[in-house]
A = this chain, B = another copy of it.
């Protein structure tokens, strides 16, 4: 039942000619689907409308031939074929009563045009950045008119297929921002100079779009309220003036801050609502509805933001990926069921680098069409009279037990040797800045507790013999992995010599500490563990050297938009970084190895933490499956191996693996995923 304190979130909001049914709004964000996978796009967005989001948008939609984003995936709206693809999403979202929006876009200096080979365009040639060795050309007045016509044509196309909200995208440093910025706009004609002149391009575009589509759609703008020292960027004082100028012609103001890595800042470095010091000031400049984001999952905070008058509408990208049913759960008062966003940015990494969105919390994100997965519904097992023993309650084991429980198996036992569930996440969440990742455990603990057919048993180490005697029909081994302590490392034949007794991440997190004050953390992994251990030890006063085989520290963090801030942060807390190093040996008081160029490397340290690679713990699985007679005698019909015990991987992928196994456990070969649909253009 809806808590009255949250009722304000379910008030409708008038957005020009359209009525948003409530204050929940999925802002434009990329998915990897664009118009090349239109059915996946439609299913991905529709699930949010089904989950109660009153407004749902597709991603940035390039309008011109010279804002070609390929091979990145965008929702092009440049011709009828694009429109036909996007119409699938419009209809799918409308079927659930939500408004659907599209974000018309030109990247200007920021697109690359490498596939189309068009010359990039920019307000002022002298301020052109360099993309892939190519500079942009300065826009002529013809270009300005042409791009404006492209926006209008795209808006008409969007209107014709039923979009309710049409954005003119002015945030995140793209062409509109490049015109507004005194850095990138050095024009001396009517489109440069004063704020009114710099605003002219966008204002005219908005007026032309409005004139073309009239009151058929709401017209929205998305804008970076403050550039936060990024180039090109605009200071909030100018932006408030700009917003006041365009306010007569827009129906909705969508506010962001800074560059994208700040706006979509991870939980490691940005708290929820971190944009408010700037975005809250937009009210000074407009009476139109304001939508803003803040990675909000908590309805108390959301209601507070609305009551404060800062925003009229709660925007969300990541929280809506983690839980498409967030609004409905609030409406039903099921606050404990909200699958809270961890702020890991795995979604962004997967979408930007892999062209396939995913989520550390929601294994079904991006799988709606191709695997037919729903975030809240799982098919009941056709044969419930079976018991399943899940050995190991890490990310994959927790998820697998949860989905098996929901599928209605008679008894699901989730057994773990530790005194609480979570597996490696139990210690990962205690690394500096990684606390919010613990939500992966917390949500599953809450959900598992609701299932009467699932029993969670902690503090119990099961031997192979005990598993055979346990009485389960099916056994799932999810015993995880351990960081190697033997000096083995990827891409090397010989192990590191002299590492006996060296620390591993698990040992550090169990309380062991380096001997002496100077410690090297040797990171072949390149994500959060090596840097996390380094920061933990630095915080305790150790002199920490982060030594990595990679050409930069934590390259994987670049995919989650946090690489630069992570490295700056490590530097600021006094960690010395050594890149491109292969460690080959350890002697008393030093480690030795070679540089990227094969030169000798030596570093005087008292101790060493090995973050080389993970070793699956699959002994139980091997022992069980080696003796089919024993399995038969025990009445065990199947034994499966999932998660890190099968192959160490990102937490999001372990969760996915556990989820998949639970859904596909009755397939002919559960170890191998069922085929999924391969989408293609409409």
Contacts and interface: CB of A to CB of B under 8 A. Distances in A.
A663 interface: no
Contact of A647 (B71, B128, B356, B657): B128
Nearest to A182: B493
Interface stretch (A283-291, A425-433, A674-682): A674-682
Contacts of A568: 596-598
Interface string A34-74: 00100000000000000000000000000001100011000
Interface stretch (A93-101, A130-138, A509-517): A130-138
A527 interface: yes
B525 A597 contact: no
Interface stretch (A153-161, A308-316, A347-355, A632-640): A347-355
A71 B355 contact: yes
B556 A135 contact: no
A648 B119 CA distance: 10
A649 interface: yes
A445 interface: no
Contacts of A335: none
A491 B132 CA distance: 15
A647 B108 CA distance: 14
A599 B358 CA distance: 37
A568 B115 CA distance: 31
B350 A114 contact: yes
Interface in A96-122: 114-120
Interface in A471-506: 488, 490-491, 493
A656 interface: yes
Nearest to A625: B140
Contacts of A118: 673
Interface in A150-206: 183
A647 B130 contact: no
A614 interface: yes
A129 interface: yes
A360 to B, nearest CB: 12
A114 B356 contact: yes
Interface string A60-90: 0000011000110000000101000000000
Nearest to A78: B678
A613 B135 contact: yes
Interface string A659-682: 010000000010011011010110
A272 interface: no
A129 B648 CA distance: 11
What secondary structure prevails in chain A residues at the interface with B?
A: loop
Q: How many copies does the complex hold?
A: 2
Given A656-B117, A673-B65, A646 B137 contact: yes
Given A114-B350, A493-B183, A130 B613 contact: yes
Given A115-B354, A355-B71, A613-B130, A647 B556 contact: no
A305 B47 CA distance: 62
Nearest to A616: B125
A239 to B, nearest CB: 19
Quick one: which of A231, A669, A672 has the most chain B CB within 10 A? Answer: A672
A460 interface: no
A507 interface: no
Given A71-B71, A137-B647, A231 B354 contact: no
B527 A133 contact: yes
Contacts of A126: 488
A526 B527 CA distance: 26
Contact of A673 (B117, B120, B657): B117
A130 B490 contact: yes
A307 interface: no
A650 interface: yes
A261 to B, nearest CB: 15
Nearest to A370: B116
Contact of A133 (B129, B146, B491, B649): B649
Nearest to A117: B656
A386 interface: no
A249 interface: no
Contacts of A524: 130
Nearest to A230: B491
B490 A115 contact: no
Contact of A135 (B231, B355, B648): B648
A551 interface: yes
A306 interface: no
Given A65-B675, A355-B115, A653-B134, A647 B120 contact: yes
A264 B252 CA distance: 53
Contacts of A551: 551-552
A274 to B, nearest CB: 21
Interface in A373-399: none
Quick one: which of A71, A355, A525, A599 has the most chain B CB within 10 A? Answer: A71
B613 A596 contact: no
A571 interface: yes
Interface string A527-542: 1000000000000000
Contacts of A120: 647
Contacts of A527: 133
A439 interface: no
27 contacts: A71-B71, A71-B354, A114-B350, A114-B354, A115-B356, A117-B358, A117-B673, A119-B649, A119-B657, A125-B616, A129-B490, A130-B525, A133-B649, A133-B650, A134-B648, A134-B649, A134-B650, A135-B616, A135-B648, A137-B646, A137-B647, A142-B669, A552-B552, A568-B596, A568-B597, A568-B598, A680-B681
Interface of A: 36, 65-66, 70-71, 79, 81, 114-120, 125-126, 128-130, 132-137, 142, 146, 183, 231, 350, 353-356, 358, 488, 490-491, 493, 524-527, 551-552, 556, 567-568, 571-572, 596-599, 613-614, 616, 646-650, 653, 656-657, 660, 669, 672-673, 675-676, 678, 680-681
Given A130-B524, A551-B552, 10 more contacts: A36-B36, A65-B672, A71-B71, A81-B680, A117-B673, A119-B646, A119-B647, A134-B650, A135-B616, A231-B493
Q: Which 5 A-B pairs have the closest CB atoms?
A: A134-B649, A114-B354, A71-B355, A137-B647, A571-B597
